[in-house]
Amino acid sequence: MADPSTQLFNIQIDGVWHQFPKGTRVIEACEQAGSYVPRYCYHKKLSSPGNCRMCLIEMGFPRLGPDRKPELGADGKPVINWIPRPQISCAQDVSEGMAVRTNSPLVKECQRGVMEFLLINHPLDCPICDQAGECRLQEFSVDFGNSKSRFLEHKVKKPKNVQIGPRVTLDDERCILCSRCIRFCQEIAHDDVLGFVDRGSYTLLTAHPGKRLENNYSLNTVDICPVGALTSTDFRFKMRVWFLKETKSICTSCATGCNTVIGSREDVIYRQTPRENDHVNSSWMCDYGRLNFKFLEAEYRLLEPRIRSEGRLVAVDWPIAIEQAALQLKQFSGPEIAIIASGRMTNEELWLTFQLANLLGVEMIDIVPRRGPGDDILLSKDRNPNTNGARLIFRSTSEPGAKLLAIADAVKSGQIKALAIFKENTMHLGIPVEQLAQLPVFIAMNILPNEATEKASVVLPACGFAEKRGSMVNGKGRLQRLNRAVRPPGNARDDWEILRDLLQAIGGGDSGSSIDDIFRRISETVPQFVGLNLNKIGDLGVHILQMEELPPMHPTDEEAIEQAIAIQAARRAVPSH
Ligand code: SF4
Ligand code: SF4
Ligand code: FES
């Protein structure tokens, strides 16, 4: 017997017969058949209350003859009995023989009517509204509405500029009462905070008494609000959306790796919004990750490579900085050198770091573990985006982060003479700054300065997540790409180029002239990457690691990681980006 979940139904849409699997919403079937049905309240990731009526269509079913079989017309197709009233298409699934009209005179009349009702009390805010450019009300008004208003009365006045939460601003006059934001909070964020009050034209969206829209997913309501009623307090009035360059990338603020679109203009990031990927983040992302890009524009960013000369750090050009770093590292043997890398580095950067360690005979190499409270929605406890990349590339027998305190101890005991720290803050590791200052060689590659950077013998300014390309493996084993949205400021350089040049200067040969070359080298040496290249990863990523196949974490590793995290938490004087 056929699997009922794969059962196909024959559906006629605008006169053409199609087949759709059982369970397909009529509105989705129409869209897949090329007949887009306008909608406001419907969102495919939320329940369907059917309250806006924008998706009205005509619906019918085959007329049955006396033998209970569909009567066939002259064209050999079933004759349709049309339901005399229009139906909403968002709350009903397809069924065998169903027929739909999406562009008949009746449907068009319904659409014009709904648009007229919605616009009766809508303010004429478009020129100053932040939603302009991505507003469904504007778009559908042009596509499905009337060009003139017959409304002569005064519009109802409602609250404007309401701080409904710390990150979201509400304009009640613009709200079309679709209830998407209410359902999102109830169904996805599990925080029943929004609701409607009052009746008729006076109905208002508001937060329940004593509550605010402040959950860590609040900005998703801004994404799904079809009009400019909910806007991001951070983004509003900063940039017209049509000026934004959109770059597909991933969030690097935790191990989930939510898929994103970075909106930027002239090398400034204005916003990050979620990109749909059902394998990772559905259509959502958390506020913490979404807003975690401001540090890239910090005034105090590291902009020039610098080397220590006569006790002071002086700016030099890149070849000199690389040459100095190589010369300094080559003075020592493997057991005297330690490398602290970061779980925020890409696979390509980690691979080059690992080659560097191999070339120098370094065994003291690890990443800094980073954890925070997770939730059961998206936010992961592991706040490093690429712990799994480090796990695969470093091929260490201990968990990423478990060797860190041993490295810190070796620095403190004086065993380590040369320390290279990439994209991390040594101040968080319990190594006193005075001890770092005593190190003969201390090479720091980072985005922002910190107290420890000032003690470095060579400082290498590098790129943030939105300024470079590369790949990462998320917490569930999915290999994903991040892409460059903006150029780095000053003389900061792509991390992989810095590491490649350093490797070459130490005598490691040429690793390649592009990030694609580095990925190719990874795919030749790390089994999980075999057969892949950056193109094959695609926009939605590929699964390369079954987490169940990994050996369970050793209790002593767990203990060492917890300890390292506790030390960092105690020492963190400034919030880490
Ligand atoms: S604020 Fe936006 S999402 Fe919420 S009900 Fe109003 S129009 Fe819909
Ligand atoms: S859940 Fe994690 S990856 Fe997703 S947006 Fe938040 S911090 Fe970023
Ligand atoms: S989209 Fe169908 S009723 Fe709103």
Percent with pLDDT over 70 in the chain: 98
Instruction: Choose the residue to mutate in 53, 92, 110, 136 for probing ligand 3, maximizing ligand atoms within 8 Å of C-beta.
Output: 53
**pLDDT above 70: residue 4:** no
**Mean pLDDT in the chain?**
93
**pLDDT above 60: residue 576:** no
User: Alpha carbon of 297 to those of 269, 448, 494: distances in Å?
Assistant: 8, 10, 16
pLDDT value, residue 549:
78
* Whole-model pTM over 0.85: yes
Name every residue whose Cβ is closer than 8 Å to that of residue 210 and which is 6 or more positions away in sequence: none
For ligand 1, atom 4: residue with the closest CA:
181
pLDDT value, residue 102:
97
Please tell me the distance between residue 80's alpha carbon and the centre of ligand 1 in angstroms: 37
Name every residue whose Cβ is closer than 8 Å to that of residue 487 and which is 6 or more positions away in sequence: 267, 467
pLDDT value, residue 5:
61
Q: Over the stretch 245-300, which tens digit does the pLDDT of each residue have? A: 999 999 999 999 999 999 999 999 999 999 999 999 999 999 999 999 999 999 99
**pLDDT above 90: residue 451:** no
Angle, CA 255 vertex, CA 253 and CA 259 arms, to 5°: 70
Ligand 1 pocket by C-beta < 6 Å: which residues? 175-181, 205, 225-227, 229-230
Spatial separation of the C-alpha atoms in residues 558 and 566, rounded to whole Å: 12
pLDDT value, residue 577:
46
DSSP 528: G
Token digits of residue 122: 């809508």
pLDDT value, residue 530:
95
Task: List alpha helices for 121-169, DSSP H.
Answer: 136-144
pLDDT value, residue 2:
52
Cα 428 from chain centre: 27
**pLDDT above 60: residue 150:** yes
Spatial separation of the C-alpha atoms in residues 173 and 202, rounded to whole Å: 10
Please tell me the distance between residue 104's alpha carbon and the centre of ligand 3 in angstroms: 18
The residue behind tokens 């319904």 is: 110
Confidence category of residue 69, pLDDT binned at 50, 70, 90: confident
Please tell me the distance between residue 262's alpha carbon and the centre of ligand 1 in angstroms: 24
**Average pLDDT value for residue range 103-108:** 96
pLDDT value, residue 52:
95
Q: Which ligand is nearest to the CA of 137?
A: 1
